[in-house]
Amino acid sequence: MIKVAMTSVYVDDVAKAHAFYTEVLGFETRIHMDLGGGTLFVTVGASEGAQPDLQLLLEPGQGPIAEPYRTALREAGLPCIVFSVDDIQAEYERLRGLGVRFTQEPQEQGLVITAVLDDTVGNLVQLAQSKD
């Protein structure tokens, strides 16, 4: 069986992204390595042991491929990744209380309720809750 082990999110600033994804969104650090020359290799994952084999790589978003990709997604209003939550209204309120800017408040979209936030490092991120 093939499973997703790691996926990347291109970010403006890896250290700033690490702080946002851990201190605000609540992920835990899985790998934090200084590769020298100001380059960090950082992965995060769901806290409390949920999805222990799945990591999110906070990838430097500069360069001829990553930067146009991120810019195009953002200009189109498209999230770069979707995270599931159990209670989207509670998570929306918690994150707003922490100063997170949302570009879309929670709204029903078919079988899910979604909200979209700005991750402060160049991306839009969608939160989704199943309606069942």
Strands 112-118, 124-130: pairing kind = antiparallel
Using the predicted structure, report yes or no on whether residue 30 has a pLDDT greater than 80.
yes
Using the predicted structure, report yes or no on whether residue 49 has a pLDDT greater than 80.
no
Of 17, 11, 15, 21, nearest to 62 (Cα)?
A: 11
* Residue-number span of the structural domain to which 38 is assigned: 6-130
Q: Calculate mean pLDDT across residues 82-95.
A: 97
pLDDT (0 to 100) of residue 52: 86
User: In whole numbers, what is the pLDDT of the chain averaged over residues?
Assistant: 95
DSSP 113: E
pLDDT (0 to 100) of residue 68: 94
Q: Pull the structure tokens for residue 114.
A: 């979604």
Using the predicted structure, report yes or no on whether residue 17 has a pLDDT greater than 90.
yes
- Residue 1 domain-assigned (yes or no): no
pLDDT (0 to 100) of residue 32: 97
Q: Calculate mean pLDDT across residues 6-20.
A: 96
Which domain CATH number covers 108?
3.10.180.10
- Residue 88 domain-assigned (yes or no): yes
Using the predicted structure, report yes or no on whether residue 81 has a pLDDT greater than 80.
yes
- Residue 112 domain-assigned (yes or no): yes
The DSSP line for 24-71 is IS--EEEEEEEEETTEEEEEEE-STTSSTT-EEEEEE--STTHHHHHH
pLDDT (0 to 100) of residue 60: 92
- When divided into structural domains, the chain yields a total of 1
